[in-house]
Amino acid sequence: MLRDKNLVALSHQHQHALALCVRLDRALQAREVDPAPWQAEIEQHFEHEICFHFAAEEKEVFPVALRFDDLKPLVDELLAEHAVLRESFSAATARTLDAPGLQRFVEKLAMHIRKEERQLFERMQALMSPAELAEMGANLERALAEASQFCALPKESTRLRPKK
């Protein structure tokens, strides 16, 4: 199913976070990980985008989803995952994640994003009227207005192939 235009901003932010996950996972698989620069990048990504993203979901998307009984267990899971992910972002900020911790972070964040995209957003699009989606989309636009238009390029220290 195509993503409804009212959820596209969140989906774009999901793409940014998944790109970070893919790059970090590849570095971990290649055993080319210095945790410090990766944790700095994770911290920056959280401060500039994900903290606003989580807040917008929790204020605008999840309450709407809770109107549908069959989405309540999923929303509860997603809220619990937000709490766990916030702990991981805090650990990155404190620079306490080692390579296995970074791998767990990648797995948790990617799984969470896919759950929102494939389960929550798909189901909401099927259950909600165009008018309801438009109202939520307008509220999301306001909620995300504080987020910088952040799309950080990888730093030299977190590139898989350094520039020549």
The 10s digit of each residue's pLDDT in 64-115 is 999 999 999 999 999 999 999 999 999 999 999 999 999 999 999 999 999 9
Alpha helices in the chain (DSSP H): 8-29, 35-45, 51-56, 62-65, 72-93, 99-115, 122-127, 130-144
Q: Is residue 158 part of a domain?
A: no
Q: Is residue 33 part of a domain?
A: yes
Q: Is residue 141 part of a domain?
A: yes
CA distance 35 to 13: 23
- CA end-to-end distance (rounded Å), the chain: 41
Q: Is residue 36 part of a domain?
A: yes
CA distance 61 to 133: 10
- Tally of structural domains, the chain: 1
Q: Is residue 114 part of a domain?
A: yes
Check residue 103 and give its pLDDT. Answer: 97
pLDDT digits (tens, 9 = 90+) for 47-62: 999 999 999 999 999 9
Average per-residue pLDDT in the chain? 91
Check residue 155 and give its pLDDT. Answer: 52
Q: Is residue 133 part of a domain?
A: yes
Cα 10 to chain centroid distance, Å, stands at 8
The CATH number given to whatever domain includes residue 129 is 1.20.120.520
Check residue 133 and give its pLDDT. Answer: 97
Domain region containing 76: 5-145
Q: Is residue 162 part of a domain?
A: no
pLDDT digits (tens, 9 = 90+) for 36-47: 999 999 999 999
Q: Is residue 150 part of a domain?
A: no
pLDDT digits (tens, 9 = 90+) for 141-157: 999 886 654 444 455 55
